[in-house]
């Protein structure tokens, strides 16, 4: 019973783990390059969710300096700032990867990694 209560209290960590596992499974089992890019985004999202969850403090106040603010626990803003930077980098990498997939499709006529490997071995 305690284990179930612990899971319910920390469900966000479980969601992050499940998202990462879904992304990893898709990356390893599918040969479609577009699906691999989407799986990479799932994994990025899982990592972002995990970092935001770790940086959150239940019952804490926002990290705003105010003379009327109570002296107590504050939420650490550093994980949120790092995640914003990570989201920008992930978006750029996704755009670049999709442009590479487009060029690969134009050259080989397919986005299947196995077919591309077969075509390259013939050449």
Partners of residue 75 on adjacent β-strands: none
pTM recorded for the entire structure:
0.81
Hey, where are the domains in the chain? 2-63+71-122
> Quick check: helix, strand or coil at residue 53?
helix
pLDDT per residue rounded down to tens, the chain (123 residues): 777 777 777 888 899 999 999 999 999 999 999 999 999 999 999 999 998 888 777 777 777 766 665 666 677 788 888 899 999 999 999 999 999 999 999 999 999 999 999 998 875
The pLDDT value given to residue 123: 55
Identify the CATH assignment for 2-63+71-122 out of 1.10.3470.10, 3.30.9.10, 2.30.110.10, 1.10.287.3510.
1.10.287.3510
CA distance 81 to 92: 17
Question: Is-contact 116 100, C-beta < 8 A?
Answer: no
CA atoms lying within 13 Å on the CB side of residue 21:
6
């Amino acid at each position: 019973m305690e284990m179930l209560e612990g899971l319910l209290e920390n469900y966000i960590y479980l969601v992050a783990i499940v998202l990462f596992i879904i992304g990893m499974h898709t990356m390893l089992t599918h040969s479609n390059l577009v699906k691999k890019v989407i799986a990479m985004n799932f994994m990025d999202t899982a990592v972002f969710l995990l970092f935001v969850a770790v940086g959150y403090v239940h019952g804490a106040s926002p990290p705003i300096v105010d003379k009327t603010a109570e002296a107590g626990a504050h939420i650490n803003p550093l994980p949120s700032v790092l995640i914003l930077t990570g989201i920008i980098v992930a978006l750029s990498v996704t755009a670049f990867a999709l442009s590479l997939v487009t060029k690969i499709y134009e050259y080989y006529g397919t986005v299947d990694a196995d077919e591309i490997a077969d075509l390259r071995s013939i050449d």
